[in-house]
Chain A
Protein backbone atom coordinates (compact mmCIF):
# COMPACT_ATOMS: atom_id res chain seq x y z
CA UNK A 1 0.00 0.00 0.00
CA UNK A 2 1.67 3.18 -1.21
CA UNK A 3 -0.96 5.71 -0.19
CA UNK A 4 -1.95 6.31 -3.82
CA UNK A 5 -5.16 4.59 -4.86
CA UNK A 6 -6.31 4.16 -8.43
CA UNK A 7 -9.72 3.02 -9.56
CA UNK A 8 -10.76 1.02 -11.38
CA UNK A 9 -7.94 -1.53 -11.50
CA UNK A 10 -9.18 -2.91 -14.82
CA UNK A 11 -11.29 -1.28 -17.51
CA UNK A 12 -12.53 -2.50 -20.87
CA UNK A 13 -14.14 0.11 -23.07
CA UNK A 14 -15.33 0.48 -26.62
CA UNK A 15 -13.98 3.14 -28.91
CA UNK A 16 -17.14 5.20 -28.61
CA UNK A 17 -17.38 5.05 -24.82
CA UNK A 18 -16.57 7.73 -22.29
CA UNK A 19 -14.94 6.68 -19.06
CA UNK A 20 -12.83 8.19 -16.30
CA UNK A 21 -9.88 6.98 -14.30
CA UNK A 22 -9.53 8.16 -10.75
CA UNK A 23 -6.48 8.67 -8.56
CA UNK A 24 -6.52 9.62 -4.90
CA UNK A 25 -3.74 10.33 -2.43
CA UNK A 26 -3.82 11.45 1.18
CA UNK A 27 -0.09 11.84 1.60
CA UNK A 28 -0.22 15.62 1.63
CA UNK A 29 1.55 15.82 -1.71
CA UNK A 30 1.08 18.74 -4.06
CA UNK A 31 2.26 17.20 -7.33
CA UNK A 32 0.38 14.50 -9.18
CA UNK A 33 1.22 12.74 -12.42
CA UNK A 34 -0.34 10.53 -15.08
CA UNK A 35 1.82 7.99 -16.91
CA UNK A 36 1.07 5.57 -19.70
CA UNK A 37 2.94 2.29 -19.96
CA UNK A 38 2.39 0.16 -23.03
CA UNK A 39 3.49 -3.47 -23.09
CA UNK A 40 7.20 -3.85 -22.33
CA UNK A 41 7.86 -0.16 -22.83
CA UNK A 42 9.12 2.54 -20.49
CA UNK A 43 6.75 4.79 -18.65
CA UNK A 44 5.61 7.78 -20.70
CA UNK A 45 4.86 10.91 -18.73
CA UNK A 46 1.50 12.32 -19.85
CA UNK A 47 0.49 15.11 -17.49
CA UNK A 48 1.87 16.86 -14.43
CA UNK A 49 -0.08 18.92 -11.92
CA UNK A 50 1.60 21.08 -9.31
CA UNK A 51 -0.66 22.65 -6.71
CA UNK A 52 -3.71 21.82 -8.88
CA UNK A 53 -2.28 23.61 -11.92
CA UNK A 54 -1.31 21.66 -15.02
CA UNK A 55 2.38 22.26 -15.60
CA UNK A 56 3.13 19.59 -18.16
CA UNK A 57 1.32 18.10 -21.14
CA UNK A 58 3.58 15.87 -23.16
CA UNK A 59 1.76 16.22 -26.50
CA UNK A 60 -1.01 13.96 -25.33
CA UNK A 61 -3.98 13.61 -27.73
CA UNK A 62 -7.10 15.50 -26.76
CA UNK A 63 -9.04 12.26 -26.31
CA UNK A 64 -7.27 12.18 -22.93
CA UNK A 65 -8.47 14.97 -20.65
CA UNK A 66 -7.04 15.36 -17.15
CA UNK A 67 -8.76 17.04 -14.25
CA UNK A 68 -7.34 17.97 -10.85
CA UNK A 69 -10.09 19.38 -8.63
CA UNK A 70 -7.84 19.47 -5.56
CA UNK A 71 -4.39 18.35 -4.51
CA UNK A 72 -5.65 14.94 -3.39
CA UNK A 73 -7.54 13.88 -6.49
CA UNK A 74 -6.65 13.45 -10.13
CA UNK A 75 -8.84 12.20 -12.93
CA UNK A 76 -8.19 11.14 -16.49
CA UNK A 77 -11.26 11.43 -18.69
CA UNK A 78 -11.26 9.17 -21.72
CA UNK A 79 -13.35 9.46 -24.88
CA UNK A 80 -13.21 8.02 -28.39
CA UNK A 81 -10.07 6.06 -27.63
CA UNK A 82 -8.20 3.89 -30.09
CA UNK A 83 -7.03 0.28 -29.60
CA UNK A 84 -3.42 1.52 -29.38
CA UNK A 85 -4.41 3.40 -26.24
CA UNK A 86 -4.67 0.09 -24.43
CA UNK A 87 -2.04 0.21 -21.70
CA UNK A 88 -1.38 0.43 -17.99
CA UNK A 89 -2.16 3.93 -16.74
CA UNK A 90 -0.29 4.92 -13.63
CA UNK A 91 -0.81 7.79 -11.26
CA UNK A 92 1.90 9.12 -8.97
CA UNK A 93 2.29 11.85 -6.41
CA UNK A 94 5.21 13.66 -4.81
CA UNK A 95 6.03 16.72 -2.80
CA UNK A 96 7.79 18.97 -5.30
CA UNK A 97 9.04 21.56 -2.87
CA UNK A 98 11.13 19.04 -0.96
CA UNK A 99 14.70 18.62 -2.09
CA UNK A 100 14.94 14.85 -2.08
CA UNK A 101 11.38 13.73 -2.39
CA UNK A 102 10.40 10.33 -3.67
CA UNK A 103 7.36 9.60 -5.77
CA UNK A 104 4.61 7.21 -4.78
CA UNK A 105 2.78 5.29 -7.45
CA UNK A 106 -0.61 3.70 -7.52
CA UNK A 107 -1.19 0.15 -8.70
CA UNK A 108 -2.41 1.39 -12.04
CA UNK A 109 -5.46 0.88 -14.22
CA UNK A 110 -5.17 -1.75 -16.92
CA UNK A 111 -7.12 -0.29 -19.84
CA UNK A 112 -8.23 -2.32 -22.83
CA UNK A 113 -9.88 -0.54 -25.76
CA UNK A 114 -11.92 -2.80 -28.00
Chain B
Protein backbone atom coordinates (compact mmCIF):
# COMPACT_ATOMS: atom_id res chain seq x y z
CA UNK B 1 0.00 0.00 0.00
CA UNK B 2 1.32 3.41 -1.02
CA UNK B 3 2.27 5.66 1.89
CA UNK B 4 3.16 9.33 1.51
CA UNK B 5 5.01 11.25 4.21
CA UNK B 6 5.72 14.95 4.46
CA UNK B 7 8.39 16.41 6.67
CA UNK B 8 8.33 18.75 8.48
CA UNK B 9 4.71 18.91 9.61
CA UNK B 10 5.05 22.64 10.26
CA UNK B 11 7.50 25.33 9.25
CA UNK B 12 7.89 28.98 10.20
CA UNK B 13 10.24 31.28 8.31
CA UNK B 14 10.84 35.02 8.01
CA UNK B 15 9.72 36.71 4.83
CA UNK B 16 12.27 36.46 2.01
CA UNK B 17 13.70 33.14 3.05
CA UNK B 18 13.51 30.19 0.65
CA UNK B 19 11.19 27.33 1.59
CA UNK B 20 12.06 23.65 1.15
CA UNK B 21 9.26 21.13 1.63
CA UNK B 22 9.88 17.40 1.46
CA UNK B 23 7.67 14.53 0.37
CA UNK B 24 8.50 10.83 0.32
CA UNK B 25 6.51 7.86 -0.98
CA UNK B 26 6.99 4.14 -0.52
CA UNK B 27 6.00 2.71 -3.91
CA UNK B 28 7.94 4.14 -6.86
CA UNK B 29 5.43 2.86 -9.44
CA UNK B 30 3.72 6.23 -9.70
CA UNK B 31 1.99 7.86 -12.65
CA UNK B 32 2.52 11.42 -11.51
CA UNK B 33 3.00 13.54 -8.40
CA UNK B 34 1.20 16.77 -7.58
CA UNK B 35 1.78 19.54 -5.11
CA UNK B 36 -1.30 21.32 -3.77
CA UNK B 37 -1.88 24.34 -1.59
CA UNK B 38 -4.73 24.45 0.93
CA UNK B 39 -5.87 27.62 2.67
CA UNK B 40 -7.97 27.36 5.86
CA UNK B 41 -11.57 26.48 5.11
CA UNK B 42 -10.92 26.12 1.42
CA UNK B 43 -10.32 23.39 -1.08
CA UNK B 44 -7.05 22.39 -2.66
CA UNK B 45 -5.37 24.35 -5.43
CA UNK B 46 -3.00 22.48 -7.72
CA UNK B 47 0.43 24.10 -7.89
CA UNK B 48 2.54 21.73 -9.96
CA UNK B 49 2.13 18.32 -11.56
CA UNK B 50 5.20 16.24 -12.39
CA UNK B 51 4.77 13.26 -14.66
CA UNK B 52 6.69 10.11 -13.76
CA UNK B 53 9.04 10.63 -16.70
CA UNK B 54 9.94 14.15 -15.62
CA UNK B 55 12.56 15.31 -13.12
CA UNK B 56 11.16 18.73 -12.29
CA UNK B 57 8.53 21.35 -12.98
CA UNK B 58 8.70 25.10 -12.49
CA UNK B 59 6.09 27.81 -12.16
CA UNK B 60 7.17 31.27 -11.16
CA UNK B 61 8.80 31.11 -7.74
CA UNK B 62 7.90 27.44 -7.38
CA UNK B 63 10.07 24.51 -8.41
CA UNK B 64 9.33 20.87 -7.72
CA UNK B 65 11.74 18.01 -8.27
CA UNK B 66 11.00 14.31 -8.49
CA UNK B 67 13.36 11.39 -7.85
CA UNK B 68 11.16 8.40 -8.50
CA UNK B 69 13.78 5.77 -7.77
CA UNK B 70 14.37 7.08 -4.26
CA UNK B 71 10.71 7.92 -3.70
CA UNK B 72 11.20 11.62 -3.06
CA UNK B 73 9.95 14.99 -4.20
CA UNK B 74 10.93 18.44 -3.01
CA UNK B 75 9.01 21.68 -3.43
CA UNK B 76 11.11 24.84 -3.40
CA UNK B 77 9.48 28.24 -2.95
CA UNK B 78 11.89 31.08 -3.57
CA UNK B 79 11.81 34.38 -1.70
CA UNK B 80 8.83 33.51 0.49
CA UNK B 81 6.05 36.04 1.11
CA UNK B 82 3.39 36.20 3.85
CA UNK B 83 0.84 35.25 1.19
CA UNK B 84 2.61 31.89 0.87
CA UNK B 85 1.34 30.95 4.33
CA UNK B 86 -0.83 27.85 3.85
CA UNK B 87 -0.72 24.07 4.09
CA UNK B 88 1.13 22.34 1.27
CA UNK B 89 0.17 18.81 0.33
CA UNK B 90 1.85 16.37 -1.99
CA UNK B 91 -0.09 13.57 -3.62
CA UNK B 92 0.91 10.65 -5.80
CA UNK B 93 -1.16 8.94 -8.41
CA UNK B 94 -0.25 5.33 -8.90
CA UNK B 95 0.10 3.70 -12.29
CA UNK B 96 -3.01 1.62 -11.66
CA UNK B 97 -6.09 3.69 -10.96
CA UNK B 98 -6.92 7.37 -10.80
CA UNK B 99 -7.02 8.09 -7.10
CA UNK B 100 -4.54 10.33 -5.34
CA UNK B 101 -2.73 9.30 -2.16
CA UNK B 102 -1.89 12.33 -0.05
CA UNK B 103 0.72 13.11 2.55
CA UNK B 104 -0.26 14.73 5.82
CA UNK B 105 0.82 18.17 4.64
CA UNK B 106 3.30 20.80 5.80
CA UNK B 107 1.80 23.86 7.46
CA UNK B 108 3.83 26.92 6.47
CA UNK B 109 3.86 30.30 8.17
CA UNK B 110 5.82 33.15 6.58
CA UNK B 111 6.30 35.97 9.07
CA UNK B 112 6.50 39.57 7.80
Partners in one complex: no
Binding site for A on B (CB under 8 A): none
